[in-house]
Chain A
C-alpha cells in the first residue's frame, strides 16, 4: 500500500486514468462477481438485521437493550474481554519477542503451536478448558482446595477468552519486530542507553501500533465469542451470562425483536472496533513507511 506500489501500475498502464483501456483483462468480471457475492452473503443479511430493528419503536428497542439482565451481560462481556485482551497484550508481546529474538530448542514447534486457537474449533476449546478447570480436572484439582474456583465463574470466561485471543497479538507484533533495525538499537547502546531504555524508547515506539492493533483484534474477537465461553461460563443470568448468549436465549423464546435489538448493539460495537483497527493499521503503515 505504499506510494511506490500504487504508482507502478499507473506508470505501466497509460490508459488507466481514462478507465477505458486496461492491459489486464477481467476487471469487470471479477469486480462484478466480488460485489455480487459480497452483497448476497454479507450486505443483504446485514441490512435485514438493521431494517428489522427499525420495526421496533424507540421505546421497545430501549427496553430490549437496557434491561438489567442485558446490562449485566454487556458489563461481563466487556470486562472479561478487556482483561483477556490485556493479558494477551503482555504475553503476546513476550511470546513475539522470544520467538523473534531468541533461539531455543523446539522453537519452530512453539511458533506453529501459537496458531492452535485459530485452528481448534471453539467448542472443543470450551469443553477442554472446562474439563481442566472443573473441580476434578488436572488444574482445578489443585486450585479448588486453595479456594480458587475458575470453572463456571466469570474468571473461567476470561481464561477461555485468553485462549481465543492469544494468536492475535503475537501474529501482529512478530513481523514488525522482525523488521526493526538492529542498527538503531546498536546506536542507542553506543550512546549509553541501558537495554531497558533501548527497549522502552527505541523498540517499543516502533511496535506500539502493531501491539495496539493486536490488542484491538483480540478484544473484538472476545466480544463476539460464543462457542468456547458457554461451556465454561455456567451461564447464570446477571452473573456469568455473556451478550451472545442473551441473543440465543431471546431467540429460543421466539423474541425475534429483542434478539435483533441486542444484535444491533453488538453490531454497532463491532463496526466501531473495525474502524479503530483500520485506523491503527494505517498508523502502523505510516510508521513503517517513515522508518524505511
Chain B
C-alpha cells in the first residue's frame, strides 16, 4: 500500500509529497474522525444488538415470534413491495423525459421532484389526513363508499410513496444525463422500437444506478416512521409497521422486545449498506473498464497544459 512512499527519496527531494500534511497531522485527523464515527455510528449500532440480546437469545426470539411482531413485519413488507415498484416506474419515466429531452420548465420539474425530501415527514402525513381523512377533501365520499385510506393500509402506502418519491428519479437523472442520447439514437436509426431501445440499450447502462436507487428507496420505505405514524392510527396487529411496533413496545417499557424488532431494521440497514457498497464497487470497475480506452487520449494533454 505504502510501497512507493517507503523507497528512499532521491537526494534533495523532501520525503513527503508537497500536497499532503505532516504525518502527525494526518494521524491526528484520522484519529479524531475515527473516534467521532465510533461514538456516533458504531456505538448506537452495537447498542441495538446488545439491548436486544440482553436477556439471552431465547427472550430475543420469543419477542420476534409474537403475532403482533409478525403482522408488523408483514405490513412493512407489503408497504415496501407496493411503494418501491411504484416509485421505480415513476423514477424511470421521470429520468427518461428529463435526461433525454429538452423542454421548458425542466429545472422547475426537477425541483418539484426533489420537494418531498425537504418536507417534514409529519407534515407529509398531515397532508394525506387533510385529503383522505374523515373531515378531509374526499372524507365524505370515501366513508359513503366504505373505503378506508387513513388509519388503514392504503394511507400507509401513500405516505411511504411520498417520502420515498425522489429516491430513484434523482439517482437516474444525473446518470442518464451524463450518458447522453447517442446510443439510443443509434438504436432507433437502426430500426429498434422504443421498448427495444429501452430494454437493450438504456437499461443495461443504468442498471447499477437503478439498483442503487431501489435499495435506498426500500430502506427508507421499510424504516419510515414520522409520516406513517400520522396516517396509521397505531392499530395493533393491523396498521403497525415495524418502526411503529418498536415505538409501542418501547413506550410500554418492553425494552428487549422493542430492541429485538429494532435489530431487524438495523440488519436491514447493514444489508443495505453492503449491497450499496458492492454496487458502487462493481459500477466503478465497469466504468473504469469501459472508459479506459476513450478517456486516455484526452487525459494526456492535460498535465502538459497545466504544467
Contacts and interface: CB of A to CB of B under 8 A. Distances in A.
Interface of A: 1, 5-6, 8-10, 12-13, 16, 22-27, 29-31, 33-35, 37-38, 41-46, 48-49, 52, 91, 94-95, 97-98, 101-104, 108, 110-125, 127-129, 131-132, 137-139, 162-163, 166, 181-183, 185-186, 189-190, 195, 220, 223-227, 231, 244-245, 247-248, 251, 256, 259-260, 263, 266-267, 270-271, 273-274, 277-278
A263 B126 contact: yes
Contact of B129 (A9, A131, A251, A270): A251
B273 A132 contact: no
Interface residues of B, number: 111
A18 B266 CA distance: 53
- Is the contact region of chain B dominated by helix, strand, or loop, or is it mixed? helix
Given A12-B185, A104-B30, A263 B123 contact: yes
B157 to A, nearest CB: 11
Contact of B47 (A5, A115, A132, A244): A132
Nearest to B43: A132
Interface in B83-110: 86, 89-90, 93-94, 96-98, 100-103, 109
Nearest to B45: A116
A112 B41 contact: no
| Residue from B29, B182, B226 with most neighbouring chain A CB atoms (10 Å) | B226
A183 B306 contact: yes
A257 B90 CA distance: 33
- Is the contact region of chain A dominated by helix, strand, or loop, or is it mixed? helix
B45 A128 contact: yes
A1 B222 CA distance: 33
Interface of B: 1-2, 18-22, 25-26, 29-30, 32-34, 36-37, 39-45, 47-48, 51, 86, 89-90, 93-94, 96-98, 100-103, 109, 111-116, 118-124, 126-131, 135-137, 158, 161-162, 165, 177-178, 180-182, 184-185, 188-189, 193-194, 197-198, 216, 219-220, 222-226, 229-230, 242-244, 246-247, 250, 255, 258-259, 262, 265-266, 268-270, 272-274, 276-277, 303, 306-307
| Residue from B102, B127, B258 with most neighbouring chain A CB atoms (10 Å) | B127
A251 B262 CA distance: 26
Contacts of B2: 103
15 contacts: A12-B182, A23-B185, A24-B101, A26-B96, A46-B115, A112-B273, A112-B277, A115-B276, A124-B246, A124-B265, A131-B47, A223-B120, A226-B120, A244-B226, A247-B122
| Residue from A37, A101, A248 with most neighbouring chain B CB atoms (10 Å) | A37
> What 9 A-B pairs are tightest by C-beta distance, nearest first?
A121-B223, A224-B120, A227-B225, A25-B194, A45-B127, A226-B226, A119-B269, A244-B122, A30-B97
A116 to B, nearest CB: 5
| Residue from B44, B96, B255 with most neighbouring chain A CB atoms (10 Å) | B44
B226 A227 contact: yes
A270 B124 CA distance: 12
Contact of B262 (A45, A119, A123, A166): A123
Contact of A94 (B18, B32, B135): B32
B181 A224 contact: no
Contacts of A97: 29
A247 B307 contact: no
Contacts of A125: 44
A259 B126 contact: yes
A31 B97 contact: yes
A6 B184 CA distance: 16
B184 A121 contact: no
B188 A132 contact: no
Contact of B29 (A27, A98, A123, A195): A98
B101 A226 contact: no
Nearest to B249: A127
B93 A30 contact: yes
Nearest to A106: B34
A218 to B, nearest CB: 12
A278 to B, nearest CB: 6
B273 A251 contact: no
B266 A120 contact: yes
Given A45-B131, A224-B119, A113 B273 contact: yes
Contact of A256 (B44, B47, B100, B130): B130
Given A95-B33, A120-B45, A251-B129, 6 more contacts: A8-B180, A31-B103, A45-B130, A45-B131, A112-B276, A127-B258
B33 A220 contact: no
A266 B258 contact: no
Contacts of B102: 6, 9-10, 16
Contacts of A111: 277
Contacts of B161: 41
A138 B47 contact: yes
A29 B33 CA distance: 48
A248 B194 contact: no
| Residue from A49, A124, A223 with most neighbouring chain B CB atoms (10 Å) | A124
